[in-house]
A = this chain, B = another copy of it.
């Protein structure tokens, strides 16, 4: 078993190395600022990577924004402190860090503990008892829940030292992951580079709601850069300091989370990994989305609808559906306000990676900005007929409260007014039966005695013409770089060269993703063929098809190999002045087409009006040619 798992790890590492080498060599991406030694966690996308990203984003816009009539916005990255105070990022967007006591080098505390436990367990250290092994496994399981103190204790207990120097480590302390800066010249307005794009949508809720004709539900969307000053970035494109997010905030009436288009996705079946399966140690299982919603495994239809749409989006891009699962957050992973949360996780050589989060965040975000800004971010539902509503009315008697509590009067008043209906009705009953009641005031951190004269509590019937409420937010949030990296791994394969003495790399990108749609090669270097190649290139440009022309004298086989490595679906080889061949990347099958038809054939197939098989039957495909 151990050797099997070891060899899996080796295979995985070798596979990853092959993919990453190809990606970096062909400039899909490279470490940024390489000539200056690079900066951890920052990457440049070169021409093919840039084109893949543009294609993925264009498809995202088509699949989500256009199909759902979403309101797209584009907000700044530089964000003033108050916005991120309200959202909680200034106080809570931290990782726990330890420092090398001598060099000052910084590490993520949980990473060091995780690495320590994994190494002990994987190496099957003979000194480890079964009890110890169980303990280490437990530490790994609860790692994300450990407090700074608990992490510090474990690090001391296991005598974990700085990995590079073996020096002792500091106690863990929180490090805020936002890049801080200062807005304007005074130095008095702190700002941050946004860690997500969502806040830009929330603060615009009022305008967007109005733009939508004051109607719910509606969704706003944003594609943009986000920034996280990671303590020690690793795992290549998966954990970076600057990345593209595509986020949707779907605003919905909390009392009606049905979705009219849910039937369009309810029959989909895919791997789902709900909470109870994780807790009870069962594997993820192929599940029908409609059933998951009707059984209450997924909290509501709208959340379910987006899970289905995300599944369609990812698989259409070329993500392998057998290495894609939707994992529900455990109770301890989820913020207290969240109603439900599912991650689309994609399996790659690094394991299962969270690539899309789909959360029902309830009314948390809009309430937080309402509280901080004083601007009510609410929706209205006008009633056709005024409705009679029973309303709780709590009226503190300020005079009596003032006499009894002096300076604390305001706090007591506010606490009384903030009582829930249940609390208030209990107090009313107690006051009526006993004349006084003990009441805990959180903001004063003490219990006071409330007498009957100090407050009136009643239920009154009121006529209401509308309902005012804070909408719930359902948020699908896409890490575009992570999706693209997983797509690279899922699209990569190797096949032997014709001579069999080397392995050739291929990316089997779908047409929609491929960075370039076709290449144009004159078979041999001569002016006639080059003229034809240029003529074809001209027609491709006019048709809006991206292409690359390769007029080097390299053998045609080598040129095919080069273009396969970029995932280019079609190669046009000019071997006469009247007709040329078009070769498909994965099958290597060729068809012969008149020069004047090349652009329209490539356009039809890459834009999806026809399939390659249609073209095979239309053009009576010959065999794979000799020269490959």
Write the residues of chain A forming the contact surface with B, with a CB cutoff of 8 angstroms.
27, 30, 32-36, 39-40, 42-47, 49-51, 53-54, 61-62, 66-67, 69, 71-80, 82-83, 97, 104-106, 175, 179-186, 188-189, 191, 193, 200, 203-204, 206-208, 211, 213, 225, 227, 229, 231, 241-242, 369, 372-373, 375, 377, 541, 544, 546, 548-549, 552
In this complex, which of A43, A72, A76 has the most chain B Cβ atoms within 10 angstroms of its Cβ? A76
Once the chains are docked, how many angstroms separate the CA of A229 from the CA of B78? Answer: 10
List 20 additional A-B contacts (Cβ < 8 Å) besides A36-B82, A44-B73: A27-B208, A35-B369, A36-B372, A39-B78, A39-B183, A39-B189, A39-B191, A40-B184, A43-B76, A45-B74, A50-B72, A51-B72, A69-B548, A69-B549, A76-B241, A106-B186, A175-B185, A179-B181, A179-B183, A180-B181
Interface secondary structure of A, over-half rule = mixed
- Neighbour of A35 across the interface among B36, B208, B373, CB < 8 A: B373
Contact A541 B66 (CB under 8 A): yes
B residues less than 8 Å from A74 (CB atoms): 44-45, 49-50, 53
Copies in the complex: 2
Q: A211 and B27: CB pair below 8 A?
A: yes
Contacts of A49 in B (CB 8 A): 74
Chain B residue numbers with a CB within 8 Å of A78 are 39, 42, 179, 193, 227, 241-242
Closest to A206 in B: B35
With a 10 A CB-CB cut-off, give which of A179, A185, A242 has the most chain B CB atoms. A185
Q: Check A80/B33 contact, CB under 8 A, given A181-B179, A183-B241.
A: yes
Closest B residue, CB atoms, query A29: B74
Given known A76-B44, A106-B186, contact A552–B203 (CB-CB < 8 A): no
Assess whether A225 is in contact with B185, with CB atoms less than 8 Å apart.
no
Tell whether, in the assembled complex, residue B50 and residue A73 are in contact, meaning their CB atoms are under 8 Å apart: yes
Interface centre among A72, A231, A373, A541 (most CB of B within 10 A): A72
Select A61's contact among B45, B54, B71, B105, beta carbons within 8 Å: B54
User: Is B104 a contact partner of A46 (Cβ separation < 8 A)?
Assistant: no
Chain B residues lying within 8 Å of A76, measured Cβ to Cβ, are 32, 42-44, 241-242
A513 to chain B, nearest CB (A): 16
Q: Which of B46, B80, B180 contacts A211 (CB 8 A)?
A: B46
Query: Could you say which residues of chain B place their CB within 8 Å of the CB of A79?
Result: 33
Q: Which residues of B contact A32 (CB under 8 A)?
A: 75-76, 200, 203
